[in-house]
Amino acid sequence: MHPDSFFRKEILEDLRNRRGLLLKFVLPAGLLLPLILADLPVSLQAAGITVAIIFSGIFGSSIGLVRIRESGMLDRMAMLPISPRRLIAGYILANALLDLAQIAIPLAVFLILHPPAPEVVFCVAGAFASAVVAANALGVLAAVAPGSSSEGHLYAIITVMAAIVLSGLVAPAPHTQGLLPFWYLHAALVTAPGAFALSPVLAGLILGSALAVSPRLFGRTRG
């Protein structure tokens, strides 16, 4: 097994399951496009896009990983001379790429209807990528503790709700919203002033935390 096999496995499984792959693209578009096309405040539309990223990233990454662990695959991978951190990095990358593609169409429609200033486009792109990576990394963190799929769903839902609330997407959270990259994406979409450079930094910290605990996902602790 090559070091990037986890990445390849996730990508190939998605490509082989064409019906499931189609649903993964249709569902976000079906939920977000009516919201974006409706006569609603831009801030509400931006919040909807951000919440979709949080849900798809955390829930998809966490539940997928818990199921893989239940199947015994992670225990088998633990016997291979491959760093758990590298395997999990590949898993996060594969899922993040899929989430980027899923949300790209609704996001593009939003930006066409609400074109940002040229200098904000790069902020939106950076904040978008950072939010997707962070959501998938949080999903990995949420998958460490559960011992079953039922527990995995509970941990994932709690993590999703916590991320939404702490990011100030339900109500203003001035003391916590700047601690997660999701608020910066929302701010970029509504072209509100913000320190967008912090978004990739925060995403990097969350990703680093996920990789740091990744050996605990496997059958035995390895560095």
- Residue 146's pLDDT band (boundaries 50, 70, 90)? confident
Residue 201 has pLDDT above 50, yes or no: yes
Provide, rounded to the nearest whole percent, the portion of the chain with pLDDT above 70: 89
- Interval 116-136 mean pLDDT: 91
The pLDDT value given to residue 75 = 78
Domain boundaries, the chain: 5-217
Please give the mean pLDDT across all residues of the chain: 87
Q: Select the more confidently predicted residue: 58 or 19.
A: 58
The pLDDT value given to residue 195 = 62
* Greatest Cα-to-Cα distance within the chain, rounded to the nearest angstrom: 55
Residue 168 has pLDDT above 90, yes or no: yes
Q: What are the distances in angstroms from CA 131 to CA 49, 56, 205?
A: 11, 11, 12
**In angstroms, rounded to a whole number, what is the distance separating the alpha carbons of residues 59 and 179?**
20
The pLDDT value given to residue 15 = 66
- Interval 95-119 mean pLDDT: 92
- C-alpha angle 116-117-120 in degrees, rounded to nearest 5: 80
Residue 19 has pLDDT above 80, yes or no: no
3-state class (DSSP) for residue 191: coil
- Interval 49-73 mean pLDDT: 92
Which token pair is 23?
Answer: 């649903």
CB within 8 A of 163, min separation 6: which ones? Answer: 54, 58, 135, 138, 180, 182
Which token pair is 71?
Answer: 């199947």
The pLDDT value given to residue 4 = 53
CA atoms within 13 A on the CB side of 69: 26
Residue 193 has pLDDT above 70, yes or no: no
Q: Which amino acid is at 157?
A: I
Residue 114 has pLDDT above 80, yes or no: yes
Residue 220 has pLDDT above 50, yes or no: no
- Indicate the pTM of the whole model: 0.90
Which residue bears the tokens 């909807």? 48
- Residue 222's pLDDT band (boundaries 50, 70, 90)? very low
The pLDDT value given to residue 67 = 87
Q: Mean pLDDT highest for which of 1-10, 34-43, 80-89?
A: 34-43
The pLDDT value given to residue 58 = 97
